[in-house]
A and B are shown apart, each in its own frame.
Chain A
Amino acid sequence: MSVLREAFKALRLTVVLWLLTVVLYTLPLLAVGQGLFPAQANGSLLRNEGGQVIGSTLIGQPFASNRYVWSRPSAVDYSTGKAAPTSAPSNLGPTNPDLAKRIKDTAATYAQAGLAKPAADLLYASGSGLDPHISPEAARQQIPRLAAARGLPPARLEPLIRRHTQGRFLGCIGESGVNVLTLNNALDQIKP
């Protein structure tokens, strides 16, 4: 068999498989997504009363104000600011002195704000740089500060945190986490 014939065969195979694995596979999924699950298919967007998109329930946002629950450190600042969109961890190795320095600095910032012994996830940067969650412990530690800043009784914040906690799957798979964005959005709705 000549090389040319074999090459022509491979070329036709490439065309058919491209149509099969790119067009035929993807279009029904797009149709199902847009038709039956538009909320998820479009990125689980969160809107305010005016209909404006204020975030995605799956993607975290940076929070620094005393009136909000703080989210985890992010190596890419939650893809905000003028920079091009991205997602990434810090990629600092465990023995890299920069890691210890960053943790020390972050801990000092928390200490200034009155959080002496923050939960570890508030010091460690996340894997995606967009982690929507903090641990329940990290959320509870921030209750006194939030209560003071918003003039709310701490007892009102406890159930709110619980409501915005995503539990383990079937109670045993993964870890539970508090969704910082939806929690903060709910806080804003209590006392605008």
Chain B
Amino acid sequence: MTDWFQVVVFVALVWATAPVLGLHLFQVFDAQPQPRLDRWLIPVENGVLRFIGERGRPAEQTWDYLRPLLFSNLFFGLVALAFLLAQPPWLNPQGLPPMRWDTALHTAISFLTNTDQQHYTPEQSLSDLSQLGALQFLFFTSAATGLAVGFAFIRGLCGRPLGNFNTDLIRAITRVLIPLSFVFALVLLVNGAPMTLAGPVMLRTLEGADQILVRGPVAGYEAIKQIGENGGGFFGANSAHPFENPNPFTNLLAMVAMFAIPAATIDAFGRFLGNRRQATLLLLLVTVLFLALAAVAIKAEQGGNPLLTAWLSGPNLEGKEVRFGAGITALFATITTGSMTGAVNGAMDSLLPLGGLVPLFNLFLQVIFGGQGTGVAYLLVFLILTVFLTGLMVGRTPELFGRKVEKGEIVWSSLILLIHPLFVLVPAAITLADAPTLSGISNPGSHGISQVVYEYASASANNGSGFEGLGDGTLWWNLSTILSLLGGRYLPIAALLLLAAGFARKPKVPPGPGTLATDTGLFTVVTGVVILILGALTFFPVLALGPIAEAFSLTGAP
């Protein structure tokens, strides 16, 4: 009962923050005056722009927006890679050696793409300098890159030029990510997240064992990890670790932080379009889908594991913390995979079959609030496809926001949807074909299939969570997931920008009697159905082989 109440509290908080933060995002990315912030930030932003030699002209071609994105991301990644490969003695209290080259490459690309898959144990691998200089740096820049793309896409769909990438990137950091993270970091700090460079503590426990407590600049790291939908833990246990997530209050905030920006981006989209009703309906749609998925996961975990009834009863607490409980850990799992954050406050691998199906399903859809900036873009791609499909069904000209949807839009939209299964299913099939040597599966049966598929789905969706029993610290896993990480990030970004730029160039057509209104309840329901059919059907066979088969094996047991 209290679990469901907490779901309501969570959703209420997300809906309460969405319009406030949405207005802020709109002002930031529409370059509207923000008197209180402008006084401090305009000199900073102009200083940065002048220093880098950026005049801030809006992009005329897609390439004008994409080029600085690719160049800056290349340098962001190289800086992080250098820190990981060198791991100098500064701020390195444990004297940790450099990372192996393939793990360093995977880590740099994984954090660069806002994914944050971790094929290493942070406590034993990274100095404080690497945590800050490589990972925290990429937390900010990858989230800002996503936001920039999201708003460039929104501008294009609203018939405007894409904007200027460097300006968007800098303003996303100075006006959105740093202020929000700073406040959240202070709250985390007061609640017990460490903020020190003093290194680990060795101590003797009450029973006389030697314990090593790794500390670090956790509060600041943790805040942007959640707000930027990054998700890579300072510690191996991620948000289950008491230093990252000390109590139920910080857990609630961590959950809201994951949905805050994607929900607000949907709200800001309505303001750009001048049709807030459209945005509210989209927000309602993803909220309903989210609630349905969360309900399945929570119900499954509350029900407990029928194989263990000889020894215990009650909810499934394997891999879960007492202070959060089974239901809220399932809720967290639904949020973190819906939002492409990938932080976990419990073991995804130990979720019951249906509890694990929900995160996997979220990774396939990518729109249940979705990634930083890219979530709303994917959602609008589904809107374009729905306009096209319904237009075909009723024989009307497909139009969206006053512009015709034609071949170009459909080609790019279909491509965006096809990239994901390509980078999930193909490498998963290869890995499973030679499972004994390649896969590193740790759990037998259908669950092992889920482990492999999950890893690639998480990489391609730029999520970063995992069924972490998987032995993924190998050359094969590092290199093969790099392909999914890069393919799942930069190909859709390029396609989204091409789609938006082409759409903006089209002549505006006044709405006529043949125009299908997209801001209605009926159309929103149809969009939801399209999302479920197009998004999930491709992946249904692997769901059947993995979690669904496992669910049957669980209930079929004596």
Closest to B315 in A: A120
What is the minimal beta-carbon distance from A188 to any residue of chain B, in angstroms? 7
- Provide the A23-46 mask, 1 if CB < 8 A to any CB of B, else 0: 001101110111001001111110
Interface positions of B from 199 to 244, Cβ below 8 Å from A:
200-201, 203-207, 209-215, 217, 219-220, 224, 235-237, 240-243
Of the listed residues B9, B68, B75, the one surrounded by the most CB atoms of chain A closer than 10 A to its CB is: B75
Is residue A168 within 8 Å, beta carbon to beta carbon, of the partner chain? yes
**Quick check: B447 and A96 within 8 Å, CB to CB?**
yes
- The interface size of chain A toward B, counting residues with CB under 8 Å, comes to 97
Interfacial chain B residues near A84, Cβ < 8 Å: 121, 123-124, 212
Check A88/B212 contact, CB under 8 A, given A61-B206, A133-B323, A174-B324. Answer: no
Interface positions of A from 1 to 55, Cβ below 8 Å from B:
5-14, 16-18, 20-22, 25-26, 28-30, 32-34, 37, 40-45, 52-55
Is residue B173 within 8 Å, beta carbon to beta carbon, of the partner chain? yes
CA distance A129 to B248 in the complex (A): 18
Of the listed residues B53, B133, B220, the one surrounded by the most CB atoms of chain A closer than 10 A to its CB is: B220
Check A91/B196 contact, CB under 8 A, given A33-B189, A43-B201. Answer: no
Check A127/B346 contact, CB under 8 A, given A6-B67, A25-B181, A133-B322. Answer: yes
CA distance A85 to B234 in the complex (A): 13
- Provide the B318-332 mask, 1 if CB < 8 A to any CB of A, else 0: 111111110011000
- Provide the B338-365 mask, 1 if CB < 8 A to any CB of A, else 0: 0000001111011111000000000000
Is residue B394 within 8 Å, beta carbon to beta carbon, of the partner chain? no
CA distance A62 to B311 in the complex (A): 22
CA distance A177 to B317 in the complex (A): 14
Closest to A97 in B: B444
Of the listed residues A81, A85, A89, A169, the one surrounded by the most CB atoms of chain B closer than 10 A to its CB is: A89
What is the minimal beta-carbon distance from A148 to any residue of chain B, in angstroms? 19
**Quick check: B194 and A17 within 8 Å, CB to CB?**
no
**Quick check: B318 and A21 within 8 Å, CB to CB?**
no
- Provide the B277-306 mask, 1 if CB < 8 A to any CB of A, else 0: 000000000000000000000000000110
**Quick check: B217 and A92 within 8 Å, CB to CB?**
no
- Provide the B166-207 mask, 1 if CB < 8 A to any CB of A, else 0: 100110011000100110011001111111111011011111
**Quick check: B311 and A16 within 8 Å, CB to CB?**
no
Closest to B136 in A: A22
Interfacial chain B residues near A29, Cβ < 8 Å: 182, 185-186, 189, 195, 217, 219-220
CA distance A30 to B193 in the complex (A): 12
**Quick check: B195 and A93 within 8 Å, CB to CB?**
no
Interfacial chain A residues near B76, Cβ < 8 Å: 14, 17
**Quick check: A87 and B48 within 8 Å, CB to CB?**
no
Is residue A149 within 8 Å, beta carbon to beta carbon, of the partner chain? no
What is the minimal beta-carbon distance from A25 to any residue of chain B, in angstroms? 6
Interfacial chain B residues near A52, Cβ < 8 Å: 203-204
CA distance A149 to B193 in the complex (A): 36
Interfacial chain A residues near B550, Cβ < 8 Å: 93-95
Check A54/B195 contact, CB under 8 A, given A93-B447, A129-B237, A131-B321. Answer: no
- The interface size of chain B toward A, counting residues with CB under 8 Å, comes to 121
**Quick check: A124 and B328 within 8 Å, CB to CB?**
no
Is residue B89 within 8 Å, beta carbon to beta carbon, of the partner chain? no
**Quick check: B350 and A94 within 8 Å, CB to CB?**
yes
Is residue B40 within 8 Å, beta carbon to beta carbon, of the partner chain? no
Check A10/B51 contact, CB under 8 A, given A29-B217, A133-B323, A188-B206. Answer: no
Is residue B445 within 8 Å, beta carbon to beta carbon, of the partner chain? yes
Check A12/B52 contact, CB under 8 A, given A81-B210, A120-B313. Answer: yes
CA distance A5 to B132 in the complex (A): 28
Interfacial chain A residues near B74, Cβ < 8 Å: 10
**Quick check: A96 and B206 within 8 Å, CB to CB?**
no
Interfacial chain A residues near B235, Cβ < 8 Å: 87, 128
CA distance A17 to B140 in the complex (A): 9
CA distance A130 to B174 in the complex (A): 36
Check A120/B317 contact, CB under 8 A, given A25-B220, A94-B351, A94-B554. Answer: yes
In the complex, which of the residues A87, A126, A177, A184 contacts B206, with contact meaning CB atoms closer than 8 Å?
Answer: A184
Is residue B314 within 8 Å, beta carbon to beta carbon, of the partner chain? yes
In the complex, which of the residues A20, A42, A89, A174 contacts B198, with contact meaning CB atoms closer than 8 Å?
Answer: A42
**Quick check: A104 and B72 within 8 Å, CB to CB?**
no
**Quick check: B243 and A37 within 8 Å, CB to CB?**
no
Interfacial chain A residues near B317, Cβ < 8 Å: 120-121, 124
**Quick check: B200 and A85 within 8 Å, CB to CB?**
yes
**Quick check: A40 and B237 within 8 Å, CB to CB?**
no
In the complex, which of the residues B79, B206, B212, B237 contacts A68, with contact meaning CB atoms closer than 8 Å?
Answer: B206
**Quick check: A126 and B240 within 8 Å, CB to CB?**
yes
CA distance A104 to B169 in the complex (A): 54
Interfacial chain A residues near B319, Cβ < 8 Å: 89-92, 124-127
> 10 more A-B contacts (CB under 8 A) besides A21-B224, A121-B322, A174-B249?
A30-B195, A34-B195, A42-B196, A72-B322, A87-B123, A88-B236, A93-B349, A125-B318, A128-B242, A174-B247
Nearest first, the 4 closest Cβ-Cβ pairs linking A and B are A174-B248, A33-B195, A91-B469, A127-B240
Interface residues of B (CB under 8 A from A): 2, 5-6, 9, 48, 51-54, 67-68, 71-72, 74-76, 79, 121, 123-124, 132-133, 136-137, 139-141, 166, 169-170, 173-174, 178, 181-182, 185-186, 189-198, 200-201, 203-207, 209-215, 217, 219-220, 224, 235-237, 240-243, 246-249, 251-252, 304-305, 307-308, 310-325, 328-329, 344-347, 349-353, 442-447, 467-469, 550, 553-554
